[in-house]
Structure 1
Amino acid sequence: MTKRARTAAVAAAALALLAAASCDRVTGSGEDTGTGTFYALGDDHLLYRWEPGGETDPEAQPPAEPVLDLSGVWTAEGDVGTVLRASLSIDPGQRTAAWIEGASPGESLKFGDLETGDVTTAVQYPLDHACIDPTWLADGSALLVHRGAVWGAEGVGAAGDTTPLPVQAWGAAEWYSPDAGELPSTVDLQPAGCRLRWYTAEDGTAQAVYHNLQVTELYRIDAQGKVLETIRVGGLTGTEPLTIGLVGVDPTGRYACLVDDYGPYGAFKGGFTPHAQEGTRVVDLETGEAAGDPAHQSCTSLHPDGYVSRTGAKATFVDYDGATEWSVELPKQIKESPVLFFFPDEG
């Protein structure tokens, strides 16, 4: 197959997933052995991959291995550390990392190959990271981004500031594939909202959950953006009153990781980023009640049979009934990472 034919095939497959999600995504259990793969950032600006060896002694665990050099991001313009934490993601197939490089009108969407370390530019400005951060389809074949005029006109910023202030402007959502490049836009979000997360519905179609700008309602949508269900945040009895954001949903769309009172809790070790780095509780969207263990309410990622909760340098896997399946000490290379991604082994 020629490169052109292969790219066309990838594009067709990615678009087909908007109607029917692939069943080849990486899921799995992690229930019995705690096996899986972590990705996290080091203080040296490297993205690390770590596969726990099942040892109870942290000193006996294998070290984390660097897979991607992100040091070049820090040469871009703007508060790139904040933007990287707000936009960095790993595709569910663990093939590609994506992030927005820069925090100004010169920003761009980047893809990083997790096997070769090669970095490519998907598209240049304008890209939004504050509301619709880049979000992967369930099989990792394509990434939805919000491409709109999120920056104001030149001269609108503070005196002497050459970078214009952001403005509230709603643009089109667009698809990009690491293999096929830009794909046709298919998702029209009405009403406008933030933090869209894809999952696979019972009928095999791609669906997503996101919240409105006021964070008073969650919307369950199909691949074209049609609202299938509206869930009032005030009706989720597992949350505190000041719910401000959505971190993620599990692969079936039943459970959501939400953030209460973003000020003190939304970022690792305090501070503020446009995208909360972890949630403060897991909620069952079918019942509206809290799920998991009250002693492990934080959530960094949700999986078919449980979620990862983080306390300092320790990651704990908790099932939705509240039982702790395993805990592991993160290695020194990533124990201070502001973001943490986990992928259970296929089971």
Structure 2
Amino acid sequence: MKAMIVNEFGDSSVFKPTVLAKPELKPGHVLVRVVASSVNTVDMMIRQMGPDLPLSPSAPAVLGMDFAGTIEAVGQGVTDYAPGDEVYGCAGGLADLQGTLAEYMLADSKLIAHKPKNLSMREAAALPLVAITAYEGLQRAQVKEGQNVLVHGGSGGVGHIAVQLARYFGANVFSTGGGENQLNLIEELGATGINYKTETVADYVQKHTQGKGFDVVFDSVGGANLLNSFEAAALNAQIATTVSLLELDLTNAHFKGLSLHVVFMLIPMLHDHKREVHGQILATLTDIIEAGHLRPVLDDLSFSLEEVGKAHDRLASGQGLGKVVIDI
């Protein structure tokens, strides 16, 4: 099979075309003919950092986590899928799991679900990592109908899904963006846009919650922005974040009695821990998507398997809007 491989880690030029043997079928797994994959920030981190990032595979490696494709064969014990089924998932590209940047991949059947019928393969491939992350974060934050929910970075990969899911759960959704294109997308997805470059946290908390703060804050920006989340939160509010690799002053969180949920969706893959939960979330998302409540936003540019380096550059540039997808 054709594949793109990294023999060393570094800039986007490290990807090299190669030919590998098809993966051998294993019990509990399916062999998938990959049609599309999408690029996530963690894919770029693995490519750049290699062994400095504990979850990285050893070189030579096939990277890529998200995929959509068609099942070619099923292993012993797999009963929910059959050859010919169209599926999607986040099932490789780290530790000892072969990634998606190849014509075929072996996927644990617990990590996948049937592809939504109303999405193309490219659209479905854009979803797994970001959609599972957004769903898990909102569920852990116990989002409820009628609550005021703030999503930081609502035009980004995780953020644009969190905006739509929070609306699906019945919340009043507000989201930060940094420019006209971002704010237009946020409004199109059904949230009230907040320009974080021109409005202070105190300003928009007063404007949208009469100074009380937001019941739930989903922070897909994270890092130092968590201090803004603490400031924007109501008393006893819930905060979910996807980025918390830093030292942080929790004083404000203490005096507000906030609950902080750190979402690291790679745990099931990395540690073979409750993998079936990801399959269950994806199946739920398929129902939500087929009912018309959720859609991925794709970047205008598309890339072939051989152009994976350019796809990484596109995501890194910050000039795209929506998920960057690679046609395999």
| TM-score computed with the length of structure 1 as normaliser | 0.25
| TM-score computed with the length of structure 2 as normaliser | 0.26
Higher strand share: 1
